[in-house]
Amino acid sequence: MPTGTLDTKLQIMLIIQDDIRRYSIEGMLRSIDIGWTVQFSAAVEDLSTFRNGQLIISSSDALEPVPAEIAEKLRIHNMHVLVLVDSADVVEQSWVDHANGFLDWADLRPETLREAIVDVEAGRFHVSATLVRRSVMAPDQAGDDTTSKRASMIALTAREHQVLRLIAEGQSNRQVAGSLSISEHGVKRMVGIILAKLNCPNRTLAVVRAIESGLLVV
């Protein structure tokens, strides 16, 4: 299990509609060794008043498309987003694009919550074990069992591997461009190629499939 320390002034917003689930998360936060202040909301629009926030823990039962002004705030302030999902959930794409990690409710315990928060705050992309297993076991769009065989044949260039690694660490296209000293347009092009090679519709699933296929080791 990854180890690490957390900012003792960690500020968290919980966007969770279900009161029982919110109380559960609040109780777990009290039981793990972090100093934190927390706000609660059932509406994503309240993020517009979230000041100096570092982490957003959002349940997919509260997720609607991210309003443009909120998406801009998440990007400008580099706010970290951890999404809690049920196994059958399909997370709205605009949240997928901003998420730094996903944790299945089935995996939720104080130690797994802490691990996810540590990873997200450290800039590592976090996917919980249940979600990884579900990705590995799920049939592909062709409905056959050859996904793993095809994945093992995926050939990424050295530069594409670099981009994929930085995406897995939670970096945006702009951050990847800065890290590699290339244009943001070039990064977008390579991300598109990576998604095509991995047969994935978005960056998040690409990271999961890359881990599953052995292209990434985390």
Q: Per mean pLDDT, which of 117-121, 125-129, 177-181 is the most reliable?
A: 177-181
Average pLDDT for 47-63:
71
For 105, how many CA atoms within 13 A lie in the half-sphere containing its CB? 16
Q: How many CB atoms lie within 10 A of CB 81?
A: 23
Determine the pLDDT at residue 151: 46
As given in the structure block, the two tokens for residue 66 are 């991210």
Pair (22, 54) in one structural domain: yes
Among 112, 135, 158, the domain boundary falls at: 135
Residue-number span of the structural domain to which 147 is assigned:
140-213
Q: In whole angstroms, what is the distance from residue 81 CA to residue 98 CA?
A: 7
Q: Which CATH number characterizes residue 168's domain?
A: 1.10.10.10
Query: Higher confidence at residue 36 or residue 187?
Result: 187
Q: Strands, E, within the chain: which ranges?
A: 10-15, 36-41, 55-59, 80-85, 101-104, 126-127
Does 145 score more than 50 pLDDT? no
Pair (30, 78) in one structural domain: yes
Among 86, 115, 135, the domain boundary falls at: 135
Starting at the edge strand that comes first in sequence, how are the strands of the sheet with 36-41 ordered? 36-41, 10-15, 55-59, 80-85, 101-104, 126-127
Asked, for residue 188, whether it belongs to a domain, the answer is yes
Asked, for residue 97, whether it belongs to a domain, the answer is yes
The tally of domains found in the chain comes to 2
Pair (117, 169) in one structural domain: no
CB of 171 closer than 8 Å to CB of 63: no
What angle (nearest 5°) sits at the alpha carbon of residue 99, between those of residues 95 and 105? 90
Q: Residue 21: is it exposed, middle or buried by C-beta count within 10 angstroms (0-12/13-18/19+)? A: middle
Pair (119, 170) in one structural domain: no
As given in the structure block, the two tokens for residue 183 are 């244009």
Does 62 score more than 80 pLDDT? no
* Confidence class for position 34, pLDDT limits 50, 70, 90: low
CB environment 174-191: b (16+ within 10 A), e (fewer): ebbbeebebeeeebeebb
Average pLDDT for 99-126:
86
* Confidence class for position 202, pLDDT limits 50, 70, 90: confident
Pair (123, 186) in one structural domain: no
Q: Which CATH number characterizes residue 120's domain?
A: 3.40.50.2300
